Structure 1
Amino acid sequence: MARTTGSNGEETSKRIDDVALKLFAQKGYAAVSMREIAREVGVQAGALYNYSPNKQDLLARLMVEHMQALLAAWEHERPIGQTPLDALKAFVLFHIRYHVQRPDHVFISYMELRNLEPENFAAVEKLRRQYEFALKDILQRGSDDHQFNIADVHVAAMAILAQLTGVTTWYRAKGRLSQSKIEAIYTQLVCQSVGAQISEEI
């Protein structure tokens, strides 16, 4: 995953990433060419290869860096010493708040997995598993403490992640419900799905 160093190079590299992200999300990876990315960025097509050797490398870099940033953000915000229920609430709020700000990243992270070559897929999947484990750990602790009633931790984690990530497909900042109201509703839904009752009003 090549990058050109230097202030101008870093600015151009970020511009390339931003443009590629937008185009991949709008048109799909297969429909976007390196020439189109270069034209949108405002550089010669040949210059684009100084920053990324091919389109596959660009897609993989976007997805890997998204997951790395997600994991770093959770590591910074994850609760320490809280009960499994409070930790689950914290995870729900973190996931929604982080992802609604990055709908394009979320879209390509799920829809374009199929277009990753095996080595790149493995790198992204490893990072995804680390994030999934963060939720599974909370669910397992809650199950072990009999705070949660879960038939299968893995299935529960996958269902919760799908439910939470789905918010990005329909949420609009100027929609009928505020983000805080949606967060409260989803917190209740997730907690009830694992057999935990919460008292917060929605």
Structure 2
Amino acid sequence: MARKTGSHSEITGPRIRDAALKLFARHGFAAVSMRQIAAEVGVQAGALYLYTPDKETLLFDLLKAHMDDLIEAWEAEPKGEGPVARLEGFVRFHIRFNLERPDAVFLSYMELRNLGSGNFAAIEALRRDYETRLETILREGQAAGVFAAPDTKIAALAIIAMLTGVNTWYREGGRLSRQKVGDIYWDMVRKAVAA
């Protein structure tokens, strides 16, 4: 199918993803139609299918992009020397990264259930990859005698859940700055795994 004159795929594609992210986060995946997304972007509903085969694929693409960006950003982050410095870096990174992307974080936790089994497995694999990075820090800390956790996998999952929970209550301009939130959460995580 030919694209309409004046159409710009490099502009429309990102606008479709941005609109879908905003609408899915605000109203829920199941409640949003492709027509609503098209109206938000200002295109005909049929035009969306030039960019995505269906609504689930659009959701999958949003969730995968979030996880890919998260892992890529963590890989680029300075790690520090030793497991304590790496754990502090992880804590502060995770909070900072996710506070910048509240809609993507919300979708990652609330709308995962709307994926078919293949897409679900792909996102779960990316999540496990990220979780394993934290678990590796915890195992290295145990080996060095600076961390003690009865089960590093459970500790990693608990820490990530706690850190991601910041998105549910934090409000810019509230009584705590992002820096102070990072300080408090680092103190709690450090004490939770201290040897």
1:8-33 alpha-carbon deviations (Å, 9 max, x no partner): 20110000000000010001000000
Contact 1:84-1:138 within 8 A present in 2 as well: yes
Q: Which position in structure 1 is the counterpart of 2:66?
A: 66
CA RMSD across the alignment: 1.3
Q: Which residue of 1 aligns with 2:44?
A: 44
Please name the residue that 2:166 is paired with. 167
Q: Quick one: which amino acid aligns to residue 32 of structure 2? A: V
| Correspondence 1:34 to 2:37 | no
AA aligned opposite 1:79: K
Find the counterpart in structure 1 of residue 85 from structure 2: 86
Q: Normalised by the size of structure 1, how large is the TM-score?
A: 0.92
Alignment check: 8 A CA contact 1:34 1:45 kept: yes
Any idea what the Cα deviations from partners look like across 1:118-159, whole Å, max 9, x if unmatched?
110011111111100110000000011110011100110010
Report how far residue 195 of structure 1 moved: 1.5
The residue type paired with residue 101 of structure 1 is: E
Other-structure match for 1:21: 21
Deviations 1:150-194 (A, max 9, x none): 110011001000000000111111001111111100000001000
Moved over 2 A (4+): none
| Number of residue pairs matched by the alignment | 190
Identity %: 55
The whole-number CA distance in structure 1 between the counterparts of 2:39 and 2:8 is: 18
Partner Cα separation in structure 2 for residue 100 and residue 145 of structure 1: 32
Per the alignment, residue 158 of structure 1 pairs with 157
CA-to-aligned-CA distance 1:21-80 (integer Å, 9 cap, x gap): 001000100000001100111000011100011000000000001100111000111416
Partner SS state of residue 175, structure 1: coil
CA distance in 1, matches of 2:109, 2:68: 15
Q: Name 1:56's counterpart in structure 2.
A: 56
Q: Which runs of 5+ in 1 are unaligned?
A: 197-202
8 Å CA contact 1:99, 1:106 repeated in 2: yes
Return the alpha-carbon distance in structure 2 between the equivalents of residues 66 and 27 of structure 1: 19
Return the letter of the residue paired with 2:135. Answer: K
Hey, what's the Cα distance between the residues in 2 that align with 1:93 and 1:135? 13
Secondary structure, aligned partner of 1:21: helix
| Matched-pair contact (CA < 8 Å) for 1:79–1:87 | yes
Question: Does the 8 Å CA contact 1:78/1:91 hold for their aligned counterparts?
Answer: no
Provide the C-alpha distance between the structure 2 equivalents of 1:70 and 1:78, rounded to a whole number of angstroms: 14
Q: Aligned to 1:25, what secondary structure does the other structure show?
A: helix
Q: TM-score, normalised by structure 2?
A: 0.95
Q: 1:72-129 deviations in whole A, cap 9, x for unaligned?
A: 000111416x110010000001001100000000000010111100110011111111
